[in-house]
Chain A
Amino acid sequence: MERPAHDRGGRPTDEPIDRTEHELADWQLLTDALVGALIRRGAMNVDELRHGIESMPPEDYERASYYERWLFSVETTLTEKGILAPGELNEAAARGV
């Protein structure tokens, strides 16, 4: 069976490893805090977070950054659980909430 996009360990690559430290943007810090709060409140758990990330279409997974994958998973997981209505976040974003 072909390994899925997220199962990356041990894959050969010629690309150098970026070892530089990088500052996190505000939205990335907020995403981390949001997921921490959702887990502490019992709305979701870390295994559901990972499963949601692993269910991303491979091309979206490859394009997305680390915290973009978290956000994708939060939205799909909370929608599957009925905590968010389908499209609710998009509507809120369009209203500028």
Chain B
Amino acid sequence: MAFDVGQRVRVAEREHAGHHRTPGYVKGKRGVVVRPHGAFRNPETRAYGGDGLPERRLYLVALEQDDLWPAYPGPPEDRLYVDVFEHWLVEDS
């Protein structure tokens, strides 16, 4: 699904045994969509000889550092920017 710039999202927390590009430490974390990168072939099937189609939208997402790390010592406005595919993002109300 498509997301808008500024939309609040959460990174899906599901398990996925195969190759995927969503790092474990961001799963389940909340953030905001910063920028769409366009659509790309899906690494989760390309890694196994597939064609990676349909293409999936990729987004730059900003996560709050103090949501990622316990007792984060920096300023509360600090963000971590990470690229996440659309099928690893869910709407966050």
The interface of chain A, by Cβ under 8 A from chain B, is: 1, 3, 7, 9-11, 45, 47-48, 50-51, 54, 81
Measured between beta carbons, the chain B residues less than 8 angstroms from A11 are 25
Contact residue range for chain B? 10 to 19
Check A9 against B25 for contact (C-beta < 8 Å). Answer: yes
| A1-B15, A47-B19, A51-B19 given; A9·B47 CB < 8 A | no
Docked CA distance A7–B52 (Å): 22
Q: Which of B15, B19, B23, B69 contacts A54 (CB 8 A)?
A: B19
Check A48 against B24 for contact (C-beta < 8 Å). Answer: no
Shortest CB distance B48–A (Å): 7
| A1-B15, A10-B68 given; A48·B23 CB < 8 A | no
Q: Which of A3, A7, A10, A48 contacts B49 (CB 8 A)?
A: A48
Q: Secondary structure at chain B's binding surface: helix, strand, loop or mixed?
A: loop
Shortest CB distance A96–B (Å): 33
Shortest CB distance A85–B (Å): 18
Beyond the given A9-B25, A48-B47, please list 9 additional residue pairs across the A-B interface where CB-CB is below 8 A. A3-B24, A7-B23, A10-B24, A45-B46, A47-B46, A50-B47, A51-B18, A51-B19, A81-B49
Measured between beta carbons, the chain B residues less than 8 angstroms from A1 are 15, 17
Check A9 against B49 for contact (C-beta < 8 Å). Answer: no
Shortest CB distance A26–B (Å): 29
| A1-B15, A10-B68 given; A51·B24 CB < 8 A | no
**Is there a chain A Cβ closer than 8 Å to B28's Cβ?**
no
Measured between beta carbons, the chain A residues less than 8 angstroms from B36 are none
